[in-house]
Every structure is written in C-alpha cells, then in structure tokens.
Amino acid sequence: MVNESAMAFQKLFSAANICELIEAQHENVMIPVPPLAVILHEAAAMYLLNGDLSYAEDTINRAILAYPQRNSSKPSARDATHPIKDIQWLQNVLSNDMDVLPTPLHDHPVCNESYLSVFEEDVIGLLLLADLQRIQGVADARLTINQALLILSKYLAKMKTQENSKNETHTLVNALTAKTCLYIATMQSSARPFAEVDKMFRRALSTNRGDKDILYYYATFFVSHDKISDARKLWNTFFDKESIVHTDFTQSLALRYLLRNQVSYKQLASLSNKLQNKT
C-alpha cells in the first residue's frame, strides 16, 4: 500500500500538475486545494514513510522555498471570501484515492496546517528536514532542529503575555515543541552533561506530559545513569496521562508523521516491567 501510495504522490505532485494548480489559483479558478507548501509537506511525509529519501529531500526543499511569507503581502479579497479547503481536499486525496488515512475521519481541534499560518517560516518543512537529516546522519540536523525550536519557542513566549492564548494553534505548537525538545534531548544524551540533557527532557515533558515517547526515553535516560528511583517515580506519575494531541484524528499526513509515537506498546510494557521489578 505504501509503495502504491508513494507512486500516486509522485504522479500527483509532478511538475506539470503543480504548475496547473498554481495557474488555476492565479486565474481565480476556485479549486479546493491547500497552499503549495502544504501539498509538498504531504508528499514529503509519504516519501519519508516509504524511505524515498532523495524524493523527500527535493520535496522538502521545494516546500520551504514555496512557503508564503506573511509579511510580504496581505491576503487578497479572494482568499478572504473563498478560504482554501485544506481538510476536505486532503481527505479526498489521501483517504479515498490512496487509502492512507483511516475512515471515517473525525473532527478534532488539531486537524490541519492552517493553525500554523501564524509563522513566517516553514516550521513543518524544517522539522521534516531535520528528521530527514537525522536519518541520513547529516551533522546539519542539529542546526535545523534548533532553528525550528527557536521559532516555536518565540511563539510560545509571546503567547504567555496574551490572554486567551490557549487555542488550537497553541495546542499544536506545544505538541510540536515537545517532540522537538525530545529530539534534541535524545540527540544530546550521550554527548552533553546530565543536567543539560535532563533540562531538555523536562521541557519536553512539561510541554506535553502525556507523550509516551517522552516518557519512555526520559525514563530510559534515568536508567542509563543508574537513577532507578527517579525513573520509577517519573513512570508512575506520567504513564496514565493523555497526550494533548491524538494523531489518529489529525487529517494532515505531515503532522501525523511528526507527532507520531515511535515507541511501541511492547517497548513501553517491557520498560514498565523492568522498573517495577527493580529494587
């Protein structure tokens, strides 16, 4: 299924089709498609899932270049009158044509990339690029992920000064920030001092305390430093917490890819047993 879906994406996101979509938008032809960068994010996520790293790299770079700069121009009257229908278009393509997403799809507060339009830089593109660089073993992964974290952190710091800031965007930014901090913590765990890595794990956990990836890797980090009691306390405190985002209801493949839990239930159960059995 993944191979067939990747082939369909490759055809769908060909240069000819992309040009046709752009031309239709320029001619004010109303078609239910998301912005070009969002389309490319979806394609890049599928390429990453399929292991097509070359296609993924090219698509991510195109997405970052295509990302609209909010300060470059104001939304047109057409955009205000006819909002682009991200959710419906992606549902039709991914669910019906490619059988990628589960059906039926459910409404959920965090369901598409439009909540991230507050950013002038392509946060999703940077996070996808960092993951690709991690897979490739490229040293630039650290610079890319730090750049993404800086963008996310500036937004959260700004929201602290504003009332009623906890909305769908805030929730999604928190979830992405938690995964980003976890990425950095695991990357630094063998090269940085304990206190520095522990601080990043703590930040990840405080941002999304129900994320099972964070719990697993943080507890494993404690175990590796012979801090069994700390690991057990962490586990007992946070194991039953719920994540702030449920990716099963997220209709963006790119967001589902970035926010997915990579730790299996088997791994969680194994570590849980080890912690409970240690004296």
pLDDT digits (tens, 9 = 90+) for 42-96: 889 989 988 999 999 999 999 999 887 644 444 433 333 333 344 445 445 545 5
- What integer pLDDT is reported at residue 24 of this predicted model? 62
What is the mean predicted confidence (pLDDT) over 181-204? 92
CB atoms within 10 A of CB 193: 9
Q: Which residue has the higher pLDDT, 139 or 57?
A: 57
Q: Which residue has the higher pLDDT, 91 or 220?
A: 220
Length of the chain: 279
Let me know: does 125 contact 41? Beta carbons within 8 Å.
yes
Least confident of 102-116, 245-259, 264-278: 102-116
- What integer pLDDT is reported at residue 195 of this predicted model? 92
Confidence label for 242 from pLDDT (cuts 50, 70 and 90): very high
Domains within the chain, CATH numbers bracketed: 2-277 (1.25.40)
- Pick from 220, 213, 222: nearest CA to 258: 213
Q: What is the DSSP letter of 209?
A: T
Percentage of residues of the chain with pLDDT beyond 90: 48
Q: Is residue 248 pLDDT above 90, yes or no?
A: no
